Chain A
Amino acid sequence: MNLSGILVTAASGRFDEIVAGLPVLPGVEVHHTDAATSRVVVVQEAPTIEDEVDGLRRIQALPGVVAAEMVYHYFADDPSLAGTPL
């Protein structure tokens, strides 16, 4: 399980559209919104840490998104972490 908390900032006037559009993206859930500052908190789930950053880029590429920044990164259960020491 790879989970990241992401802060999304919508362009002025496009807040509702962004809030509606975000959950359409794979693994993305909208959890908190703040219309006054046009900000949305989403949590993204991704099978691997790689998909997680691809997902962040998808959010950043959404029309009307001014910025999308990772704020919280949880990686404890990532199977790719099982390292084999040299």
Chain B
Amino acid sequence: MTSLTRRAFMKSGIAAATAATVGITVSQEALAQAKAAEAGWSWDKGVCRFCGTGCGIQIATKGGQIVAVKGDPDAPVNRGLNCIKGYFNGRILYGQDRLTRPLMRMKDGAFDKRGDFVPVSWDRAMDEMERQAKRALAQKGPTGIAMIPSGQSLIQEGYTASKLMKAGFRSNNIDPNARLCMASAVAAFYQTFGVDEPANNYDDIELADAMILWGANMAEAHPVLWSRITDRRLTARTTKIVNITTFANLSSDIADLEIVMKPNADLAIQNYVAREIIARNAVNREFVDRHCVFATGPADIGYGMRPTDKFAFPAEKDVQGQELVHVLDKHEAVGQRKEPGTRVEQKNRTSAGKHWLISFDDFKKAVEPYTLDFVAELAKGDPDEPLDKFKAKLVELVDIYVDPKRNVMSFWTMGFNQHIRGVWVNEQCYATHLLLGKHARPGNGAFSLTGQPSACGTAREVGTFSHRLPADMLVDNAAHRKTTEEMWKLPPNTLNPKIGSDIMAILRDLEDGGVKFLWIQTTNPFQSTPNANHWLKAAREMDSFIVVAEAYPTVTAKVADLILPAAMIFEKWGGYGNAERRTQLWRQQVDPPGEARSDVWMMLEFAKRFRLKDVWGEKAVAGVKADGYPDGKLPDVLAEAQKLGYTPETTLYEALFATADNRKVAWPDPVAKGHGNSTVKALKEGWFVEKALFEEYRRFTVAKQHDLAAFDVYYRDDVRGLRWPVVDGKETKWRFVEGHDPFVKKGEGFNFYGPLLKALPTGNLDDVTDPKPTSLAGKAKIFFRPYAAPVEQTDANFDLWLCTGRILEHWHTGSMTRRVPELHRTAPTAVMYMHADDAAKRGLKRNDVAWIESRRGKVKVVVETKGRNRMPKGSVFVAFFDEAVFINKLVIDASDPISREPDYKKSAVKVYKA
């Protein structure tokens, strides 16, 4: 066939396949053409690795390469469509600068922190890792070792990492990048419902009559869900879309109501909504009385910064000082029923999450100050908008929420979560829906969206956080430790009962020398964490060893001492869990390039190098205090280990991973249908690692109402992921509601059965009055949370608000999307969006280069006064995908004190001509 006719032939085939994918009828002949064009290809289902939406894709391979990607028409999430990133799931494997060999900093043939990167063998790389990890253990004990995995880690990777760190090294210093995006959502789920993950699901989009976005620019960040929302808006014309945001963006284009507010004003607006629900008699009494209680907690909880200014840059010291004492501004004072100017010592910095029951009357009294006048004056974010117009919008927002004929969904992402009071704003949103009885019902619910593809499935459900164990269990809960020790066949009191360092604390530990060995997987924290100048300096100057498993030379890889070349998504077997509890598994499609290996393989090989005598003897861990543990120590469990059949010489690989049960799961397996397995091939042990680990993990889920289906079920041709709990082969669309959730009994109506934090003392709005715990089994909590101002404020010097976020074409730090040339070209460098008048005032115009500077650093940016984001005066926006515009250096590392998630949305900056 000549190249011309081959081209024509391919085109007809692709056209027919495209038509079939979107449901346009084509002739038998055309279908035959499609088949012929794809001769020799093999198609298989996969999942997009770019965001928490979890779109299904179909991947074609030929001759060991991925050749084509199409939307999966049978995937209920996306029904055949993807956003532009989705089509490059194949392309991202083939970037020019893909890492394919281990690279270590060397000088004169030996490891040297100041040396240059030199290719080394895997053996050499692992030898050095072993040496450095053993040194860290000897110098600092278990907490000297830390790991930062990812919301993009596969379920099996997260499980392996968690078990290796918590059971093997007895260190809880493992915390994923998901801390940076989801931690506030998680803490609010725990506090409100006693269990993580949403009640609702994506089907609600087509069942809702109103969709309210709180700090979620879905048009850019969740494009496929956005197209479902747009379709709903266009086909059911009474549907209303509300966009509540700090600047007008692409999601505003189709919104019926756009509310531009000041930073942190969401706290006040939601209290106004609650006040109105009560004032308009719209509380769903029957639902609230039967299924809810009211609660509140302390307001003096600090800002998640260091309590000392020892490490602060001189310019940072004034803001950092508020960590211990904060002076209430006039809005905070009114909202907290105090005098403006009151100096409040932040007494509950380390007990920020504590809370107690209050009465409905107390709740009503608490929201009383949040009148329309008060909130409108505090919240209006666009100085050019007339106050009356803004007030009318707030009233309309309430009209939409309380309308008994409307099903209402609220959606949020980073605007709520990356917030110094992120847990509070999440809780307030549940409060609105619970007061109205509009939650956990088809078409009605408060729904936390996720950013990363497996923030839910891996980071949260497997529990790769410093406080978590699998399936919503916690390291500081004795019963949970016991369950986990039994499941993992560990001697009693092996697990460390002290919550480890969260991701920001791990970086601070690097800075103050507490962590000596850090392993980073599938994430780019040196670009993505706030106030990055501190951590970059710490990484290069402190006496630590940093291992980065990566596919591309990211900022973080360049900061490392050792780079391990990692296999990417379809180069290994794996699974993800998306934002609607849908678990999706895929087969390996192609082999990894060169010497790249799966993260699971790396961890198993590393585990072979440690014997129980190295890790299960008595170990000092400062601050340990728990029954069965000597103060400040983890006990020696080697004697008990012998009873379980281990010896001091047993390796962690044998004790934790290659167990007798797991070795029975043999490779090859019919589920593979001829696909390869790079992990098994490199490990050379003949057991089907990913299946065995998934099945092992599944036992936790089945015991804890998170039931996953068996591994093989997810590979059936008729399955496109299943929403857990999967009970008797059936997925669950709505949790906690009778008729949908198998754990809710007949006659109960609703049962918020999550077990955590379900016995509380009682008090008033200020404190506990009766410490005796009351059980609230089966109930959800309606929290009152007051308005609190951002800790860093704009002033005469730093006179603009900086908000950061992501954009459609790029995903997070751009470590993969920047390898796809056209995505890179569409938005080659991050620009700074600002109001034209703000630019003019500084002698700037569109496309000028300007400095943007905060207390923490400065970078150069190109000024953009038009385009997708339309800023109100006083605010600027910069995306964070671009290494060349390292915006996170400028961002304050203040965090929510309950969730420890940083607030990337509110830093004070100044802008001037470069």
A53 B18 Cβ-Cβ under 8 A: no
Is the C-beta of B566 less than 8 angstroms from some C-beta in chain A?
no
User: Are A41 and B18 CB-contacts (below 8 A) given A32-B24, A71-B80, A84-B96?
Assistant: yes
A72 B100 Cβ-Cβ under 8 A: no
Q: How far is the CA of A3 from the CA of B10 in the complex (A)?
A: 8
Residue of B nearest to A33 (CB): B24
Most A C-beta atoms less than 10 A away, residue of B7, B15, B21: B15
Q: How far is the CA of A42 from the CA of B15 in the complex (A)?
A: 7
Number of interchain pairs (Cβ within 8 Å): 125
Residue of A nearest to B82 (CB): A70
Q: How far is the CA of A80 from the CA of B820 in the complex (A)?
A: 10
A75 B67 Cβ-Cβ under 8 A: yes
Report chain A residues within 8 Å CB of B71: 71-72
Smallest CB–CB gap between B78 and chain A, Å? 11
| Contact indicator per residue, chain B 18-53, by CB within 8 Å of chain A (1) or not (0) | 110110111000100000000000000000000000
| Contact indicator per residue, chain A 23-64, by CB within 8 Å of chain B (1) or not (0) | 000000101101001010111010011101110100000000
- The stretch of B757-765, B821-829, B835-843 that contacts the partner chain: B821-829
Q: How far is the CA of A69 from the CA of B103 in the complex (A)?
A: 40
B17 A86 Cβ-Cβ under 8 A: no
A50 B68 Cβ-Cβ under 8 A: no
Is the C-beta of B327 less than 8 angstroms from some C-beta in chain A?
no
Report chain B residues within 8 Å CB of A48: 821
Residue of A nearest to B594 (CB): A85
Report chain A residues within 8 Å CB of B342: none
Most B C-beta atoms less than 10 A away, residue of A41, A42, A49, A81: A41
Residue of A nearest to B69 (CB): A73
Q: How far is the CA of A71 from the CA of B17 in the complex (A)?
A: 9
A41 B7 Cβ-Cβ under 8 A: no
B91 A75 Cβ-Cβ under 8 A: yes
User: Are A32 and B10 CB-contacts (below 8 A) given A50-B825, A71-B71, A86-B100?
Assistant: no
B99 A72 Cβ-Cβ under 8 A: no
| Contact indicator per residue, chain B 46-71, by CB within 8 Å of chain A (1) or not (0) | 00000000000000001001011111
Report chain B residues within 8 Å CB of A31: 11-12, 15-16, 18-19
Report chain A residues within 8 Å CB of B553: 86
Q: How far is the CA of A4 from the CA of B10 in the complex (A)?
A: 10
Q: How far is the CA of A54 from the CA of B809 in the complex (A)?
A: 13
Is the C-beta of B374 less than 8 angstroms from some C-beta in chain A?
no
A41 B96 Cβ-Cβ under 8 A: no
Is the C-beta of B890 less than 8 angstroms from some C-beta in chain A?
no
| Chain B, 499-527, CB within 8 A of any chain A CB | none
Smallest CB–CB gap between A62 and chain B, Å? 18
Q: How far is the CA of A68 from the CA of B339 in the complex (A)?
A: 57
Residue of B nearest to A51 (CB): B822
| Contact indicator per residue, chain A 3-24, by CB within 8 Å of chain B (1) or not (0) | 1111100000000000000000
Smallest CB–CB gap between B272 and chain A, Å? 37
User: Are A86 and B822 CB-contacts (below 8 A) given A5-B14, A34-B24, A49-B91?
Assistant: no
| Chain B, 529-556, CB within 8 A of any chain A CB | 553
Q: Which of A6, A84, A85 contacts B18 (CB 8 A)?
A: A6
B11 A83 Cβ-Cβ under 8 A: no
Q: How far is the CA of A56 from the CA of B88 in the complex (A)?
A: 15
Is the C-beta of B101 less than 8 angstroms from some C-beta in chain A?
yes
Most B C-beta atoms less than 10 A away, residue of A37, A54, A81, A84: A81
Q: How far is the CA of A31 from the CA of B87 in the complex (A)?
A: 21
B26 A32 Cβ-Cβ under 8 A: yes
Residue of A nearest to B224 (CB): A69
Smallest CB–CB gap between A18 and chain B, Å? 15
A71 B18 Cβ-Cβ under 8 A: yes
Smallest CB–CB gap between A83 and chain B, Å? 5
User: Are A72 and B14 CB-contacts (below 8 A) given A5-B70, A50-B821?
Assistant: yes
A39 B67 Cβ-Cβ under 8 A: no
B99 A86 Cβ-Cβ under 8 A: yes
Residue of B nearest to A75 (CB): B91
Report chain B residues within 8 Å CB of A49: 91, 820-822
Residue of A nearest to B7 (CB): A1
| Chain B, 68-82, CB within 8 A of any chain A CB | 68-71, 80-82
Q: How far is the CA of A41 from the CA of B11 in the complex (A)?
A: 11
Smallest CB–CB gap between A29 and chain B, Å? 6
Smallest CB–CB gap between A60 and chain B, Å? 11
Is the C-beta of B857 less than 8 angstroms from some C-beta in chain A?
no
A32 B593 Cβ-Cβ under 8 A: no
Report chain A residues within 8 Å CB of B360: none
Report chain B residues within 8 Å CB of A1: 7, 10
B15 A5 Cβ-Cβ under 8 A: yes
A76 B67 Cβ-Cβ under 8 A: yes
Q: How far is the CA of A24 from the CA of B88 in the complex (A)?
A: 27
B87 A70 Cβ-Cβ under 8 A: yes
A39 B822 Cβ-Cβ under 8 A: no
B70 A73 Cβ-Cβ under 8 A: yes
Report chain B residues within 8 Å CB of A6: 18
A29 B19 Cβ-Cβ under 8 A: no
B97 A72 Cβ-Cβ under 8 A: no
Report chain B residues within 8 Å CB of A67: 227
Smallest CB–CB gap between A27 and chain B, Å? 10
User: Are A43 and B70 CB-contacts (below 8 A) given A50-B822, A83-B96?
Assistant: no
Q: How far is the CA of A75 from the CA of B12 in the complex (A)?
A: 16
Name 29 A/B residue pairs within 8 A (Cβ), A-sorted: A3-B14, A4-B14, A4-B87, A5-B18, A31-B18, A32-B24, A32-B30, A39-B22, A41-B15, A41-B19, A41-B24, A43-B11, A48-B821, A49-B91, A50-B821, A53-B825, A71-B21, A71-B22, A71-B71, A71-B81, A72-B18, A72-B68, A73-B69, A73-B91, A74-B68, A80-B821, A85-B98, A85-B101, A86-B553
Further 10 A-B residue pairs, CB within 8 A, beyond A72-B70, A73-B69: A31-B19, A32-B26, A32-B30, A43-B15, A53-B84, A72-B14, A83-B95, A83-B98, A85-B98, A86-B99
**Chain A to chain B: the 4 pairs with minimum beta-carbon distance, closest first:** A5-B18, A31-B15, A76-B67, A53-B822
